């Protein structure tokens, strides 16, 4: 129970740190950029990060979704 409580506190502190950093960086960026430009860059960056995470999950997953070796069967179907 104690370890779970400590990990929750660390997760909360990490979240606060990230939120504070993005808040301050956005305030600094507003000096030189328009809000729409900042939003566009954030959405683009997050889309790239999510795509990379998805591809890593597919490649590292135990289920061979796309890459079967020659002669392997998936769900009873020969490739």
Per-residue HEC secondary structure of the chain comes to CHHHHHHHHHHHHHHHHHHHHHHHHHHHHCCCCCHHHHHHHHHHHHHHHHHHHHHHHHHHCCCCCCCCCCCCEECCEEC
The answer to whether residue 71 sits within a structural domain is no
Residue-wise pLDDT for 24-79, tens only, equals: 998 999 999 999 999 999 899 999 999 999 988 877 776 655 666 666 666 655 44
What is the number of structural domains in the chain? 1
The answer to whether residue 27 sits within a structural domain is yes
**Contact residues for 29 (Cβ-Cβ < 8 A; gap 6+):** 38
Compare 22 and 69 and report the one with higher pLDDT.
Answer: 22
Compare 15 and 57 and report the one with higher pLDDT.
Answer: 15
Residue 37's pLDDT is 93
Q: What range defines the domain where residue 38 resides?
A: 2-60
The answer to whether residue 36 sits within a structural domain is yes
């Amino acid at each position: 129970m104690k370890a779970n409580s400590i990990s929750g506190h660390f997760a909360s502190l990490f979240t606060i740190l990230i939120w504070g950093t993005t808040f301050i960086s956005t305030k600094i960026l507003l000096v030189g950029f328009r809000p729409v430009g900042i939003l566009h860059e954030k959405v683009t960056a997050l889309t790239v990060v999510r795509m990379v995470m998805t591809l890593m999950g597919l490649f590292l997953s135990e289920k061979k979704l796309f890459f079967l070796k020659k002669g392997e069967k998936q769900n009873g179907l020969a490739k």
